[in-house]
Amino acid sequence: MDIKAVILAAGKGTRMKSETTPKVLHEIMGKTLLGYVLDNVKNFVSEEFVIVGHHAQEVEDFVKNNYDNAKTVLQSPQLGTGHAVSMVCPSLENYDGLVLILCGDTPLVREETLKAFVEFHKSHNSDLTVMSTIFDNPTNYGRIIREADNSLKCIVEEKDATPEQKAVKEVNAGIYCLNWAKIKSAFGQLKSNNAQGEYYLTDIISWGKEQKLNVNAYILEDSDEIYGINSRLNLAEATKMMNRRNLEKYMINGVTIVDPDSTWISEDTEIGQDTIIYPATYIEGKNKIGKNCKIGPCAHLRGGVEIVDNVKVGNFVEVKKAKISSNTNVGHLSYIGDAELGEHVNIGAGTITANYDPLSKTKSKTILKDNVKIGSNSVLVAPVTVEEGANVGAGGIITKDIPSWALAITRSPLKILENWVKKKIR
């Protein structure tokens, strides 16, 4: 059965207190919240609809530039989560497959969880399934209210809840699976007579019950996954949760993380066995690190980095959009950006690739072939290629390509003035 996803991303995100960035474009280790949600569904749905509203243009640009199968649908004004979903009704008029609804501010949910959720929906012949979980502190989430026989009754938002309802610890994850043809008419019938004056998506549960449809809840065991981001405090907490999960995965797969408390590694980084990550290392975005490498302490990989095997990236080294081939060392205090380093290359301390021209605002590439040795404190002014085996003397400012096996030196010759100091003192 066909599955399409609807991702709600139009809300203002008032509690983030951000003038410049819509909530769903805030980032966890180099990836936007919305990016996590889209990545989690893109492998098993045929099409994604992202509902945009607040900062619509930025969110739309983000979606267009990064996701081929995703469409954006404008919701303006933003009258609530139910109103948001109703925006896709014209696009799905004759559709009779499944619709998976998710929130753009819930990045921790896993792809496997979403697949299991859809399977549950199918195997229970459900018309409408909502994901729930148990929170010790359910504050701010919609509460799942059940009948005496434990079947679902409705969802009540925090602001509409009685003290009794507030005590309920089963909460709405904000993720739903619906048989579209059976549920779509609900969206014309939602009411906004609640504390927030909004059209609540959550009201489709009681609507479905009234229509005598098969409405179910899927209780998610790992409640961390549906942690929603509404404030900067939530963002920091979610980043920690995401990081802990990633580090565990690497350690289980044979990577040594010397200090998990000070190491940050993004979900989209692959790391080979026996690589050691030293403390205070920050790895964001998409990267691939091979086997037997030593990274850090205090290294910063900023995405688009490919490191092959037996590579050393030492302290205070920043790497961005670069390939570092096997047995190469970038030991200390370097910046390597927009670069390709061959095998058995040695980069002396303090070397940088000058990849950015601020006047033309363009970036250029540095290519170092196999066995190149760069002396300490050199500047490789891109675009530039150092051919195989060539050496650059310490302090080199390299503005031209260097041929194979040559030595390039740009410093003025050393002068020694005998007894100069003594004469000065006298």
Residue numbers annotated as active site = 332
CB 310 within 8 A of CB 292: yes
CB of 106 to ligand UD1, least distance (A): 6
Task: Estimate to the nearest angstrom the gap between the alpha carbon of 250 and the chain centroid.
Answer: 17
216 - beta bridge partners?
A: 129
301 - beta bridge partners?
A: 283, 319
Residues binding ligand UD1: number (CB under 6 A) = 30
157 counts as binding Ca ion under rule CB under 5 A: no
Residue 202: which of ligand UD1, Ca ion, none does it interact with, CB under 5 to 8 A by kind?
A: ligand UD1
9 counts as binding ligand UD1 under rule CB under 6 A: yes
Residue, CB closest to ligand UD1: 142
Nearest to 284 by CA among 297, 266, 306, 268: 266
Piece of the chain touching ligand UD1 by CB under 6 A; list 3-11, 247-255, 340-348, 404-412:
3-11
Alpha helices, H only, 107-231? 111-123, 163-166, 180-183, 204-210
Residue that is written with structure tokens 């619906």 in the block: 178
Among 36, 62, 141, 207, binds ligand UD1 (CB under 6 A): 141
Among 6, 8, 242, 301, binds ligand UD1 (CB under 6 A): 8
Q: What's the start-to-end Cα distance of the chain, in Å?
A: 94
200 counts as binding ligand UD1 under rule CB under 6 A: yes
CB 249 within 8 A of CB 232: no
80 counts as binding ligand UD1 under rule CB under 6 A: yes
Piece of the chain touching Ca ion by CB under 5 A; list 101-109, 235-243, 253-261, 350-358:
101-109
DSSP 232-295: HHHHHHHHHHHHHHHHHHHHHTT-EES-GGG-EE-TTEEE-TT-EE-SS-EE-SSEEE-SS-EE
84 counts as binding ligand UD1 under rule CB under 6 A: yes
CA–CA separation, 47 vs 69, rounded Å?
A: 5
Residue 142: which of ligand UD1, Ca ion, none does it interact with, CB under 5 to 8 A by kind?
A: ligand UD1
203 counts as binding Ca ion under rule CB under 5 A: no
80 counts as binding Ca ion under rule CB under 5 A: no
What is the contact surface with ligand UD1 in residues (CB under 6 A)?
A: 8-11, 51, 53, 75, 78-81, 83-84, 103-106, 141-142, 155, 157, 171-174, 200-202, 228, 230
